[in-house]
Structure 1
């Protein structure tokens, strides 16, 4: 048994998009919406979602261009504001007025934007290794590999490629952990045999098209819009995306920010670590 139902819906611009729908304990359960990072998909939450479904109905979206969702014929639409509109469309399609948002990396940026745009629709946010400032070192690392990986022949090669890109973030992973991780990232190719990453290489277009010297958008006003909202931030202890200084600046601006640092993790914790799971459970159990 998968533990979830397949949910299909249409975007405002006509794409068919996909989400996993974990029913929750009953029909009146509150909703949690989980949003993955740039190159990832709904498989990232295969561990956390069933756990949350003990209390919540959990929706885990494949953003456009990832997983089972349609690829966008216009790559310039691969950017957070488009994804945010897709997420509101998903909630609207299910008549969901309000949700807890759980976002990893890009998904966390989306969560902040959603709360700033429609604050009444967000009850709490879990930000996984992301904030309003992105460390330039981590951004450069991501730009270096997104959309550039070639298909591989078999799972051993997929594991090797996955480990080469992500090894520093998970220094204690076992061979079994790496295989599980790779199986969430790769899928059989439709033609030609072998395996490919489960995303459209064109998601890199907005990254590579941007002026390398351009100033990133100032997201501090977006973060400021979360002042009245319960927010948990999880940070990988050696993250190259959310720096210690960046996290300290977030705490200075939002003194009630709840923070958990996850040992032996870079960018980004899987949210299956015991410390991450305990932090999420404690945060969601806090009185509103």
Structure 2
């Protein structure tokens, strides 16, 4: 099976600076967008940007399957003194546009969008933090010749995606109901995001506030339900392997793994330290898929890794 076919199958099956907490009075991020091409037309992806807009050092933070760029608010605040931090909403999520042909919600589309975004930022290289799907996008870009990624952080994702995790995610992606009240939306997000671990009430409220929008009759998730269609068209019963992609990566790589993750198994993470870019592994106790990167203890090793070349 060729690489493009494998990538399409995967998405169809899936998905000394101080750390400053949310709400501390820091300047709000700037909101931007860029136009991208898809197989059936054009769409826009939105992104939030933190730090000096003229800083040539760019950190790109890319979220998971049903999430959005505001997941990285705490990480962005912590690193905005060192980087121009850019957090896109992958197409179909957050403030970005929706694709008219749902089969176009594929990893190759997302990789192409990120190439367009980097060109828009007008920088020759970037550092990359990717959670789950965002890590897969980063891996696919980092494996290519002449790619712009110089340091790569993979948050609870690697070259083997377990069938069990894909099936779990497939049970809820694109199927969220309309919530009569904001509190109902928060209860739903807490339920489907239990593997995130023990978050504070304020953190759950932040994740909810940035994940839903008020619509007629209540509150709805801020993503296109159509992103779930590829899952239901091509159910996966086996693990998906992308070792060939991982082995082609040449930049320094950090793997952050939730110690209870069902998507990135520990044996896979350990093997990632022995081949390809020989990633450094950090495990987060009492967390599954995936660490939220909202806690100073989770942010610190990422910060140290990214700034190690300074």
Q: Return the TM-score normalized by structure 2.
A: 0.86
- Match in the other structure for 1:177: 203
- Match in the other structure for 1:153: 180
- Match in the other structure for 1:9: 34
User: How far apart are 1:140 and its partner, in Å?
Assistant: 0.9
Query: Which stretch shifts more, 32-41 or 153-162?
Result: 153-162
User: How far apart are 1:22 and its partner, in Å?
Assistant: 1.6
Q: Is the contact made by 2:163 and 2:236 (CA closer than 8 Å) also made in structure 1? A: no
Q: CA 1:275–1:164 in 2, change beyond 3 Å: closer, same or farther?
A: same
**Count of residue pairs brought into register by the alignment:** 282
SS in 2 for 1:111: helix
Q: CA 1:215–1:260 in 2, change beyond 3 Å: closer, same or farther?
A: closer
User: How far apart are 1:121 and its partner, in Å?
Assistant: 0.8
Q: CA 1:119–1:232 in 2, change beyond 3 Å: closer, same or farther?
A: farther
- Match in the other structure for 2:129: 102
- Write the distance in 1 (CA, Å) between the matches of 2:148 and 2:196: 33
- Match in the other structure for 2:304: 282
User: How far apart are 1:211 and its partner, in Å?
Assistant: 4.3
- Match in the other structure for 2:227: 203
**Where do residues 21-32 of structure 1 align in structure 2 (5 Å cutoff)?**
21-24=49-52, 27-32=54-59
SS in 2 for 1:265: coil
- Write the distance in 2 (CA, Å) between the matches of 1:16 and 1:284: 29
1:77-116 deviation line (CA, Å, top 9, x unaligned): 1011100100000111222221001100000000000111
**Where do residues 1-288 of structure 1 align in structure 2 (5 Å cutoff)?**
2-13=27-38, 14-24=42-52, 27-170=54-197, 172-189=198-215, 192-213=216-237, 216=240, 218-226=241-249, 228-254=250-276, 256-287=278-309
Q: Is the contact made by 1:235 and 1:261 (CA closer than 8 Å) also made in structure 2? A: yes
Query: Which stretch shifts more, 137-146 or 110-119?
Result: 110-119
Gaps of 5+ in 1: none
Q: CA 1:255–1:21 in 2, change beyond 3 Å: closer, same or farther?
A: closer
Q: Is the contact made by 2:162 and 2:263 (CA closer than 8 Å) also made in structure 1? A: yes
1:232-270 deviation line (CA, Å, top 9, x unaligned): 110011111111111122122147411111122111111
RMSD of the TM alignment (CA)? Answer: 1.8
Q: CA 1:15–1:2 in 2, change beyond 3 Å: closer, same or farther?
A: farther
SS in 2 for 1:10: strand
Q: CA 1:118–1:23 in 2, change beyond 3 Å: closer, same or farther?
A: farther
Q: Is the contact made by 1:260 and 1:276 (CA closer than 8 Å) also made in structure 2? A: no
SS in 2 for 1:43: helix
Q: CA 1:78–1:4 in 2, change beyond 3 Å: closer, same or farther?
A: same
Gaps of 5+ in 2: 1-25
Q: Return the TM-score normalized by structure 1.
A: 0.92
- Write the distance in 2 (CA, Å) between the matches of 1:202 and 1:255: 35
- Write the distance in 2 (CA, Å) between the matches of 1:276 and 1:204: 29
